[in-house]
Amino acid sequence: MTGEAGRRPRADAQRNVDALVRAATTVFATAGVDAPIRTIAGEAGVGLATLYRHFPQRSDLVAAVFRREVDACAAAAPVLAAAHEPGEALGRWLLRYTEFLAAKRGLAAALHSGDPAFGALPGYFDAHLGPALEGLLHSAVEAGQARDDVDARDILHTVANLCVPAADGGTERAQRMVAVFVDGLRRTDGR
């Protein structure tokens, strides 16, 4: 984030932004995106004026949380690739992606609300998560540990569909269904 005239924000201002986004992530995960703004400010240890100075609209804060979560999910890909065999890294990342999708109470509805603040987020999602998954998938295919007849975009959308919230609001069903899907991605023909 840069301030006026391309300057970087002051360190204390950046700490406040970081604290607000972390707090909003926690509050949204437990209470949904319609949680009281006062709760988020309190969790961050800042006043309402500070929150509104950095995030004038709720949608600004929701978008910041979404971008932060997308970045964290994308950043997990190279870490998993370095620590695991390609097929295992792919499976673990897809479960991490499942957590990202399944734990966002109300976020999907907010993102599809038509609010212009969310207009760029689908592109942000595709630009960050698509390449993260493509790299893992390519490595798994090259190692003979994944099918070569699917692409990253299909996988992202399939997993998203499997993560449609269950009536009980839990994420266990989504994790089980994605585990079944990951098993289906594995090569079983011995090639």
- Radius of gyration (C-alpha) of the chain in whole angstroms: 19
* Distance between first and last Cα of the chain: 47
The angle, 0 to 180 degrees and rounded to 10, between the axes of the packed helices 37-44 and 58-83 is: 50
Average pLDDT of the segment spanning 145-164: 90
Does residue 5 surpass a pLDDT of 80? no
Does residue 8 surpass a pLDDT of 60? yes
Average pLDDT over residues 174-190: 82
Residue range 1-56 forms a domain whose CATH class is mainly alpha
> pLDDT digit string (tens) for 101-118?
866 656 667 777 778 888
**Contact (CB, 8 A) for 93 and 77:** yes
Which residue in 79, 188, 93, 180 sits closest to 144, CA to CA? 188
Both tokens of 80, joined, read 């998993």
Q: Please give the CATH topology (third level) of the domain spanning 63-191.
A: Tetracycline Repressor; domain 2 (1.10.357)
Higher pLDDT, 165 or 59: 59
pTM of the model: 0.82
Q: Where in the chain is the domain with CATH 1.10.357.10?
A: 63-191
Portions of the chain given CATH number 1.10.10: 1-56
Could you read off the pLDDT of 64-73 as tens digits, one per residue? 998 999 999 9
Q: State the pLDDT confidence band at 186, using cuts at 50, 70 and 90.
A: confident
Provide the percentage of residues in the chain whose pLDDT is more than 70.
85
